[in-house]
């Protein structure tokens, strides 16, 4: 397989790149390095992966990269993924998530890509769903520009299948955590808590801590991506644990794994964030033969080991 991974220097992307290389694939990474880290690809580049630095909404640069790499499979992970940033600058959010996806789809169409896997979001797109765990049939009701832009991009992905016959599949991810997660971004709550616990520093919770999330470990997400890349089914499915965990419960779990525990304080809730989020992953088993395998406790131990 000749694979191209957009956003491949990031947290999830670099873990995917490593797995592709282990599987014997030729890999090209497209990343603007705004949030991704070149250091995440040290081993991959040493093993023959190529890094092309460019913005995904630079259509000419993306097409040039596709022409050079001639991939048969594309994993599109590059995105603006911060809810607060999307609220502050919805124009940039749309440029990266919508126009960037269009440029990747066009490059894939023009270069004859056989399969494209798009990485989307679950919780930010379903909003306050009212059905938990939330299935793919739930009403789409994003409460932030980020959720809206990811849904718009999903529509383009599906349309390219209907209009041009491009084989595509979309994964709607829950809250991914694990090794290489950046302990600074708002979506990286597990990494933030783990790093600060090990440093003996206080962590902050926005709101009362009773908001819930569905935490899925990155190796499980990588296995879902590989399954989607090897499949030819069309559509979209949730990728999550199917388990609802409050932020307070997460704190308690980490507190029990670290000498000295984890101290937290509480701050006002942020706008644009959902109260409850847990995804129903049963369609992933039906479509891809995938189901989560890493328990939260085991995943937290692995994440803590990464930061030690």
Q: What is the pLDDT of residue 272?
A: 64
Average pLDDT over residues 165-176: 97
CA dist., res. 11 & res. 18, Å (int): 11
Say yes or no to pLDDT of 280 above 90: yes
274: pLDDT confidence band, cut at 50, 70 and 90? confident
Q: How many domains does the chain have?
A: 2
Catalytic residue among 146, 156, 169, 177: 146
Residue 171 pLDDT greater than 70, yes or no: yes
CATH number at residue 248: 3.90.25.10
DSSP letter, residue 99: I
Is the pLDDT at 273 greater than 90, yes or no?
A: no
Annotated catalytic, 126?
no
15-33: average pLDDT = 97
Report the share of the chain in percent with pLDDT over 70.
99
Whether residue 124 is found in the same domain as residue 182: no
Angle 36-41-43 from CA coordinates, rounded to 5°? 160
CATH number of 132's domain: 3.40.50.720
Q: Is the pLDDT of residue 263 over 80?
A: yes
Residues 85 and 193 in one domain: no
Q: What is the pLDDT of residue 185?
A: 67
Regarding whether 265 and 143 lie in a shared domain, the answer is no
pLDDT at 97 over 90: yes
pLDDT of residue 184: 75
| pLDDT band, residue 186 (cuts 50/70/90) | low
Q: Residue 176: its pLDDT value, please?
A: 96
Element (H, E) at 35: none
Q: Are residues 76 and 207 in the same domain?
A: no
pLDDT surpassing 90 at residue 183 = no
Domain of residue 301 covers 177-212+243-277+296-307
Same structural domain, 202 and 93? no
Tell the burial category of 293 from Cβ atoms under 10 Å away from its Cβ (0-12, 13-18, 19+): exposed
Indicate if 189 and 123 belong to the same structural domain.
Answer: no
Please say whether the beta carbons of 76 and 6 come within 8 A: yes
Q: Is the pLDDT of residue 283 over 80?
A: yes
Spatial neighbors of 59 by CB under 8 A, at least 6 apart, are: 102, 103, 106, 107
Average the pLDDT over 271-296 and give the result.
Answer: 93
Q: Check residue 135 and report its DSSP letter.
A: P
Tens of pLDDT, residue by residue over 188-222, are 899 999 999 999 999 999 999 999 999 999 999 99
How much is the average pLDDT of 219-235? 98
DSSP state of 233: -
What is the band of 308 on the pLDDT scale with cuts at 50, 70, 90? confident
Average pLDDT, integer, range 229-248: 97
pLDDT given at position 213: 96
Question: 181 and 169: one domain?
Answer: no
CA distances from 24 to 37, 38, 42, 288 (A): 23, 21, 17, 21
Q: Are residues 166 and 30 in the same domain?
A: yes
Residues 45 and 73 in one domain: yes
- Mean pLDDT for the chain overall: 95
Nearest partner of 211 among 246, 253, 241, judged by Cα: 246
**Strands 26-31, 2-6: parallel, antiparallel or unpaired by DSSP?**
parallel
């Amino acid at each position: 397989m000749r694979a191209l991974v957009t956003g491949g220097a990031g947290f999830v992307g670099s873990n995917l790149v490593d797995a592709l290389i282990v599987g014997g694939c030729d890999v090209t990474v497209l990343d603007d390095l705004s949030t991704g880290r070149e250091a995440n690809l040290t081993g991959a580049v040493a093993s023959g992966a190529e890094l092309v630095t460019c913005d995904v909404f630079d259509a000419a640069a993306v097409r040039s990269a596709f022409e050079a790499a001639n991939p048969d499979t594309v994993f599109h992970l590059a995105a603006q993924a911060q809810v607060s940033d999307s609220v502050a600058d919805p124009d940039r959010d749309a440029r990266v998530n919508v126009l960037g996806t269009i440029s990747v789809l066009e490059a894939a169409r023009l270069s004859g890509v056989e399969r494209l896997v798009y990485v989307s979001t679950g919780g930010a797109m379903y909003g306050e769903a009212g059905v938990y765990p939330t299935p793919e049939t739930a009403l789409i009701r994003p409460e932030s520009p980020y959720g809206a832009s990811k849904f718009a991009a999903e529509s383009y992905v599906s349309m390219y299948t209907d209009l041009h016959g491009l084989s595509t599949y979309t994964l709607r991810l829950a809250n991914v955590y694990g090794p290489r997660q950046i302990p600074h971004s708002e979506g990286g709550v597990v990494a933030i808590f783990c790093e600060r616990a090990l440093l003996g520093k206080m962590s902050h919770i926005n709101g009362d801590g009773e908001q819930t999330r569905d935490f899925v470990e990155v190796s499980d997400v990588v296995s879902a991506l590989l399954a989607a890349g090897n499949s030819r089914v069309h559509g979209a499915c949730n990728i999550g644990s199917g388990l609802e965990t409050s932020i307070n419960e997460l704190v308690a779990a980490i507190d029990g794994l670290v000498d000295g525990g984890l101290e937290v304080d509480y701050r006002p809730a942020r706008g644009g964030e959902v109260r409850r989020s847990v995804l129903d992953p049963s369609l992933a088993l039906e479509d891809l033969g995938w189901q989560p395998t890493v328990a939260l406790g085991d995943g937290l131990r692995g994440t803590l080991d990464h930061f030690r």
